[in-house]
């Protein structure tokens, strides 16, 4: 069931422009970052319960996705990281398709290592971003709710 509720407009002008382009086309393919595809996550805010749309780099494998909280290697996590931890049920738009998914944080270990390699393959700047920060960049595995429930 799609997430329902009030949406908060993006605070960042370039994010607002990306979302406007995606909405006008009805397709995340309308936007690329450094010639690479993006997807849009809809996440429920931790404090407000309001919905936020977040365009992120497309990292997909076998029908599962990841959401990477890089912020270009900034010292702090993006605000959506706390929200997705508190409210792991998300909606994802990839192209013209939207699906309901559940996110879980990948802790250090082989599963995270495998997904991190896929992240860097999809968007090589992630490797530099990790070198530029002392924090471990959060990586959330985002998969169908029935798949996530079985883990």
d(CA 43, CA 7): 10
d(CA 26, CA 30): 8
Model confidence pLDDT, tens digit, residues 41-89: 999 999 999 999 999 999 999 999 999 999 999 999 999 999 999 999 9
CB 59 within 8 A of CB 37: no
Query: Which domains occur in the chain, in start order?
Result: 13-144 (2.30.110.10)
- Helix (H) or strand (E) segment spanning residue 55: strand 51-57
Q: Hey, is 74 helix, strand or coil?
A: coil
Tell me the pTM.
0.92
């Amino acid at each position: 069931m799609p997430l329902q509720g009030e949406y908060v407009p993006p605070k960042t002008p370039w994010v607002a422009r990306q979302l406007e382009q995606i909405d006008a086309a009805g397709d995340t393919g309308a936007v690329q970052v450094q010639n690479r595809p993006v997807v849009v996550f809809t996440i429920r805010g931790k404090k407000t319960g309001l919905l936020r749309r977040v365009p992120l780099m497309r990292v997909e494998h076998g029908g599962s996705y990841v959401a990477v909280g890089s912020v270009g290697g900034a010292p702090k996590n993006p605000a959506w990281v706390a929200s997705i931890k508190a409210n792991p049920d998300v909606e994802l738009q990839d192209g013209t398709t939207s699906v309901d998914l559940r996110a879980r944080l990948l802790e250090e270990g082989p599963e995270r290592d495998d997904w991190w390699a896929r992240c860097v393959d999809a968007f090589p700047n992630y490797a530099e971003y990790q070198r530029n920060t002392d924090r471990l960049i959060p990586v959330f595995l985002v998969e169908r709710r029935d798949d996530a429930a079985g883990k």
